[in-house]
Copies of this chain bind each other. A is one copy, B any other.
Amino acid sequence: MKNTPSKTLGDKQGGIPKKLSTESYKGVRDFFPADMAIEKKIFDIWRGVCEKYGYEEYGASVLEPAELYRAKSGEEIVNEQTYTFIDRGEREVTLRPEMTPTVARMVAARRRELTFPLRWYSIPNLFRYENPQRGRLREHWQLNVDIFGVEGIEADVEIISVAYNIMKAFGAKDEDFCIRINSRHMIQKEIENLLDDKTSYPKAARLLDKKEKMSSEEFQNEWSKISKKPFVINGVMARERTNELQGKLTLLGIKNVMFYPFLMRGFDYYTDIIFEIFDTNQENRRALFGGGRYDNLTSLFGGDKIPAVGFGMGDVTMRDFLETHDLLKNLQIPTSADYYICVVSPAEADAATKIAEKLRAKGSRVAVDFSYKKIGDQIKNADKRGIPEIIVIGEDEAKNGIYKIKNLKTGEERNPE
């Protein structure tokens, strides 16, 4: 990190104070309460499903040593797409671009004390250095769900079940999405057989990962640069590996699963089963999120391998999906208070505060309007905030402590309980 030259307080230009911009940093979001409420609801649903499966929440800092990402995240990601800087202690620091290296680091750090299987989830914010002109976001939040210590396919089944049940918890129907599965390990073997030189596998994998976004011609053209053999993948070995998984998911009632031999997922660390949730909406067919098995990642920290399966699911993608499929309206966002107290004048402020405190003591959420605007305007404020009931405190109410509660929808008035 380089410190910038010190400037004087006030930062004036020719004696006139410079007006500060109200804009956020490029490519990140401000969450005003209405947006934050949706974001929180999405997190709540994520948490609810994870906790039904016994997953425990963990957390870490956005700052990580840069070396954590060099080994396995994929070269392009670390060198071109991260925020990486040098701090004053000459440490190279990265704003985490993904959570998997962090969770692998944490599990490796306490491998002797932890008991497996370990079920962990987290909702970190992640950073990517995107080119500003593309208008893509530089920060997003991502649910990360991982199970450690299970070698068998039960872990893959469970992780995909969690992903599926999250989609269902948001109100998605089976036909709104499908679960694509593949075996990275098996497809790698098949691809390597097509290569003149096995060391060009990473290149081939990256090409396959982009296949769906390319025309057939473009793809063939790029492929011919990697191998002289024609590109023919039948996926026999991978299909065999995924058939068992598909069968077990069917037993659990998860039927919108399909084998897709070209599925690769971006990260280098996957070792076997990989999957992605794919939006089947005809106008917006695309991968929503995915994950897979990564049995080798913890061994980068020394010690034996710890088998692991997990996935990540972003808030921006989730919100887009909910909007596309008109599911946002089902989210049941809570109002910010149960009662809104309108106060006629400062003379009634103490009485209003006392009434509010009594209602709070009984468990209610109460906001008091201390603006002393016209009562009509104060009521409008309550309505704008979606607060269902109001209490008006004027001279009489302040004196006697007796007041009515008015429901803004029905217009009915009632006495407090």
Chain B hits for A150, CB < 8 A: 370-371
Please tell me how many copies of the chain the complex holds: 2
Chain B hits for A381, CB < 8 A: 115
Q: Are B365 and A51 in contact (CB under 8 A)?
A: yes
Whether, in the assembled complex, A85 has its beta carbon less than 8 Å from a beta carbon of chain B, the answer is: yes
Q: Are A370 and B155 in contact (CB under 8 A)?
A: yes
Whether, in the assembled complex, A275 has its beta carbon less than 8 Å from a beta carbon of chain B, the answer is: no
Q: Are B154 and A30 in contact (CB under 8 A)?
A: no
Please give the number of chain A residues whose Cβ is less than 8 angstroms from any Cβ of chain B in the complex. Answer: 115
* Shortest distance from the beta carbon of A382 to any chain B beta carbon, whole Å: 10
Closest residue of chain B to A251 (Cβ to Cβ) is B350
Chain B hits for A4, CB < 8 A: 66, 84, 86, 92
Q: Which one of A68-76, A389-397, A402-410 is at the interface?
A: A68-76
Known interface pairs A63-B25, A129-B88; A357-B252 also in contact (CB < 8 Å): yes
* Shortest distance from the beta carbon of A381 to any chain B beta carbon, whole Å: 5
Q: Are A24 and B89 in contact (CB under 8 A)?
A: no
Chain B hits for A8, CB < 8 A: 75
Q: Are B68 and A20 in contact (CB under 8 A)?
A: yes
Chain B hits for A125, CB < 8 A: 61-62
Q: Are B370 and A6 in contact (CB under 8 A)?
A: no
Which of B30, B40, B365 is within 8 Å of A54, CB to CB? B365
Chain B hits for A25, CB < 8 A: 61, 63-65, 91, 93
Closest residue of chain B to A133 (Cβ to Cβ) is B89
Chain B hits for A58, CB < 8 A: 30-33, 36
Closest residue of chain B to A132 (Cβ to Cβ) is B89
Q: Are B59 and A39 in contact (CB under 8 A)?
A: yes
Q: Are B61 and A28 in contact (CB under 8 A)?
A: yes
Q: Are B158 and A251 in contact (CB under 8 A)?
A: no
Q: How far is the CA of A150 from the CA of B349 in the complex (A)?
A: 12
Q: How far is the CA of A70 from the CA of B11 in the complex (A)?
A: 7
Closest residue of chain B to A60 (Cβ to Cβ) is B30
Q: Are B300 and A29 in contact (CB under 8 A)?
A: no
Q: Are A33 and B57 in contact (CB under 8 A)?
A: yes
Q: How far is the CA of A111 from the CA of B150 in the complex (A)?
A: 53
Q: Find residues 81-103 in chain A having any chain B CB closer than 8 Å to their own CB.
A: 83-89, 91-93
Q: Are B85 and A1 in contact (CB under 8 A)?
A: yes
Residue numbers of A with Cβ under 8 A of B are 1-4, 6-11, 17, 19-26, 28-33, 36-37, 39-40, 51-68, 70-71, 75, 79, 83-89, 91-93, 105-106, 108-110, 115-117, 119-120, 125, 127, 129, 132, 138-139, 149-150, 152, 154-155, 157-158, 161, 248, 251-252, 268, 300-302, 336-337, 340, 346, 349-350, 353-354, 357, 360, 364-371, 380-381, 384-385, 387
Apart from A24-B105, A54-B366, what are 8 other A-B pairs with CB-CB below 8 Å?
A3-B84, A10-B71, A30-B106, A32-B106, A33-B58, A51-B336, A54-B367, A61-B139
